Structure 1
Amino acid sequence: MNISTTRSAVALWFDDGLPARLVHDGVRWRVSDTPTPLVDEPLFIHELITHPPQRFLGWRFQATASDGTTHMFEVVRDAAGHWLLGRLYD
């Protein structure tokens, strides 16, 4: 498995609040599994806290191109609200 880490811009479309389509490097991809939210939790959590706060970072999902190529994508939002490709798993 190859893992590419980048911060290139992507276009992301949603259906019912979940990622459905993606354009990356001029290629159109359709999400082909259930997207998983990427969240960040505090490093230290007191033992009495049962539900620590989480900060939403982005999404991880599998997507398939029209030629059948499938990859796992991690997309994150930057401070300006743009979607960026964080990681790509081959």
Structure 2
Amino acid sequence: MTTTMNQRETTLWMVNEVPARMVYAGRRWLVTDTPTRLRESVWAAPLEEHRGLYGWRFQATDTEERSLVFDVYRAEDGWRVHRAYG
């Protein structure tokens, strides 16, 4: 398993307030499982830095059929990928 940790910007589209697809690292991704909402307790940052922070964990598959699990969070300026697991 490969894990990458970063803070890369992503575009995330929601359906009924749940992630459905995204563009990340120049690729289009389709969410291919049931996303899990992430709360404050999972983020590796001091409490004062992430109070109210929330995000999602989901598997997504790109157009080349590569699947990864993503942890994404909502920042002030949009969505960001915190970790990608492959």
TM-score w.r.t. length of structure 2? 0.83
Which of 70, 81, 85 matches 2:81?
85
Q: How does 1:2-81 map to 2 (within 5 A)?
A: 2-41=2-41, 55=52, 57-78=54-75, 80-81=76-77
How many pairs align?
A: 76
Task: State percent identity of aligned pairs.
Answer: 38
Give the whole-Å Cα distance in 2 for the aligned partners of 1:40 and 1:81.
18
Give the whole-Å Cα distance in 1 for the aligned partners of 2:10 and 2:32.
17
Structure 2, gaps ≥5 residues long: 42-51
Structure 1, gaps ≥5 residues long: 42-54
Residue of structure 2 in register with 1:45 after alignment: none
C-alpha contact 2:53 2:73 (8 A) present in aligned 1? no
- Larger helix proportion of the pair: 2
After TM superposition, what 4+ stretches of structure 1 lie above 3 angstroms from structure 2? none
C-alpha contact 1:11 1:23 (8 A) present in aligned 2? yes
Give the whole-Å Cα distance in 2 for the aligned partners of 1:33 and 1:57.
19
Q: Which has the larger radius of gyration?
A: 1
